[in-house]
Amino acid sequence: MRYLPLTPNDRASMLATIGAASAEDFYTDVPEAGRLKAKIAGLPDHQGELAVERHMTKLAAKNRAASAGPFFVGAGAYQHHVPASVDMIIQRSEFLTTYTPYQPEIAQGTLQTMFEFQTQVAALTAMDVANASMYDGSTACAEAALMAARVTKRKKVILSGGLHPHYAAATRLLCEAQGLTVVHLPISIDGEGALAGAADGETACVIGQSPNVFGTVTDLSGVANAAHEKGALLVSVFTEVVSLGLVTPPGEMGADIAAGEGQSIGNGLNFGGPYVGLFACKDKLVRQMPGRLCGETVDADGHRGFVLTLSTREQHIRRDKATSNICTNSGLCALAFTAHMTLLGGKGLKQLAELNHEAACELADALGGVKGVEILTPRFFNEFAFRTPVDAEAVLAMLDEAGVVGGVRASRLFPDGHMGDVIIAAATECTTADDIAAYVAALKEIV
């Protein structure tokens, strides 16, 4: 009981005070399907450190790194080259432990990197102001919906049929817990425009994505105008931040809030995280923005300095006044983003985006030449959906046997979407002509 100092009597007293019969009462909101009915089969109660290390190493050996061969997975996480200089910068001792500054003005270096990060995100999205990062793209999307509800004093959120389902799920979970109604439009490869007619007088915001989960690039200007006519906001979402080097950014399409994932710049795939959420909005909405905002000022001697200008989370102010309970700023991932973005500059980002688009075009042309394959995405940046004459899960399994990671089957993202023959594939600057040739050769054998 060294680390559990409470006695059974202590626990009983605590439960009686709050009116709970047992600790199980705390989990009533967790669906039965999500609860363990028994111990996990084959998992021992405890093992020594050496045995655990050997077991975990054996499990890790089953993983395959994206760089191990032809790799075409996207759908929200993308393989990009991260310069060695980025890792060198973020591993400097003054940066390695970067985190939320609880005594902020003392940590001038941390505040400056956050300020630079915000400046870059605002420029990328063509928005007035950006915060000092969030957990990831999906939770940034959810926070944007809650922010829109606070701004408009309305309780309906409308999601496009092309919004990444993980983003939709996170948004639904957070919104419904706050008493908001979430309307999700039917799944559509090219349906972002349907948002224009979806808003009504009770709508807080419409959430569209470009490029969407199927890779379709859409001008959301018309959606923004239609939403504004109804008094609603437009939240523009992106999962591939490199696309902003070429496509029209959210601010230029009239978005009120932009939210997305910044993993592609400075952060490797890392087998699923950690990542960094990007969040920006119009200046007039800044006081409802979640998280924190770093600002530039001068000290008593007139020297340049940095401060936490706005910090509206419950750890800094009264809980009823907080805009969120975001408890971190993904500081190290944000620093990696800023380091890479600084190395690229505006010209470098555009060139990187062009390489991505060219690789995707070459991949689409090559796959489109395979008998029975149909390219479904009409306009894309570096990702698109295509239909195969064979079940997608079987195709991907056989491609894997041939050493090609062919993408993500749409049915994995949309289990009830009747898309069993659709694959979503991405190509980046890391994709070579040999990779594409290997994909096409293997796919021809399969189909």
pLDDT single digits (tens) 150-193:
999 999 999 999 999 999 999 999 999 999 999 999 999 999 99
Based on the fold, state whether residues 360 and 278 are members of the same structural domain. no
Report yes or no: 265 and 80 within 8 Å, Cβ to Cβ: yes
Average pLDDT over residues 278-301: 93
Answer with the one of 309, 341, 373 that is the final residue of a domain: 341
In a domain, 52, yes or no: no
Residues 312-365 have pLDDT tens digits of: 665 566 667 777 766 666 888 999 999 999 999 999 999 999 999 999 999 999
Based on the fold, state whether residues 274 and 241 are members of the same structural domain. yes
The CATH number given to whatever domain includes residue 408 is 3.90.1150.10
Based on the fold, state whether residues 159 and 296 are members of the same structural domain. yes
User: The dihedral of CA 167, 394, 445, 430: what is its sign?
Assistant: positive
Tell me the average pLDDT of the chain: 93
Quick check: 102 pLDDT over 90?
no
Answer with the one of 279, 310, 341 that is the final residue of a domain: 341
d(CA 288, CA 312): 8
% of the chain with per-residue pLDDT over 90: 78
In a domain, 328, yes or no: yes
Quick check: 66 pLDDT over 80?
yes
In a domain, 9, yes or no: no
Tokens of 41: 């089969």
What predicted TM-score, i.e. pTM, was given to this entire model?
Answer: 0.89
The CATH number given to whatever domain includes residue 166 is 3.40.640.10
Based on the fold, state whether residues 149 and 297 are members of the same structural domain. yes
Q: Which domain holds residue 375?
A: 67-81+345-446
Based on the fold, state whether residues 375 and 266 are members of the same structural domain. no
% of the chain with per-residue pLDDT over 70: 94
Tokens of 232: 């609603």
Based on the fold, state whether residues 293 and 160 are members of the same structural domain. yes
Instruction: Report pLDDT for 1.
Output: 46
Name residue 240's amino acid.
E
Quick check: 100 pLDDT over 70?
no
Answer with the one of 296, 315, 341 that is the final residue of a domain: 341
Helix (H), strand (E), coil (C) string for the chain: CCCCCCCHHHHHHHHHHHCCCCHHHHHCCCCHHHCCCCCCCCCCCCCCHHHHHHHHHHHHCCCCCHHHCCECCCCCCCCCCCCHHHHHHHCCHHHHCCCCCCCHHHCHHHHHHHHHHHHHHHHHHCCCEECCCECCHHHHHHHHHHHHHHHHCCCEEEECCCCCHHHHHHHHHHHHHCCCEEEECCCCCCCHHHHHHCCCCCEEEEEEECCCCCCECCCCHHHHHHHHHCCCEEEEEECCHHHHHCCCCHHHHCCCEEEEECCCCCCCCCCCCCCCEEEEECHHHHHHCCCEEEEEEECCCCCEEEEEEEECECCCCCHHHCCECCCCCCHHHHHHHHHHHHHHHHHHHHHHHHHHHHHHHHHHHHHHCCCCCEECCCCECCEEEEECCCCHHHHHHHHHHCCCECCEEHHHHCCCCCCCCEEEEECCCCCCHHHHHHHHHHHHHHC
Instruction: Report pLDDT for 119.
Output: 97
Based on the fold, state whether residues 300 and 366 are members of the same structural domain. no
Quick check: 96 pLDDT over 80?
no
Based on the fold, state whether residues 277 and 362 are members of the same structural domain. no
Name residue 35's amino acid.
R
In a domain, 318, yes or no: yes
Based on the fold, state whether residues 231 and 371 are members of the same structural domain. no
Q: Which of 212-221, 307-316, 417-426 has the lowest mean pLDDT?
A: 307-316
Residues 111-142 have pLDDT tens digits of: 889 999 999 999 999 999 999 889 999 999 99
Band of residue 59 on the pLDDT scale cut at 50, 70, 90: very high
Based on the fold, state whether residues 331 and 379 are members of the same structural domain. no
User: The dihedral of CA 282, 283, 284, 289: what is its sign?
Assistant: positive
d(CA 214, CA 405): 18
In a domain, 23, yes or no: no
Based on the fold, state whether residues 313 and 425 are members of the same structural domain. no
Tell which residue, 142, 133, 130, 150, has the closest CA to residue 283: 130
The set of residues, in sequence order, having a beta carbon less than 8 Å from that of 157 and lying 6+ positions away, is 145, 148, 149, 171, 175, 180, 181, 182, 183, 203, 204, 205, 207
Based on the fold, state whether residues 144 and 206 are members of the same structural domain. yes
Tokens of 165: 């389902």
Q: Strand pairing partners for 424?
A: 385, 408
In a domain, 25, yes or no: no
Instruction: Report pLDDT for 124.
Output: 98
In a domain, 433, yes or no: yes
In a domain, 424, yes or no: yes
Domain count, the chain: 2
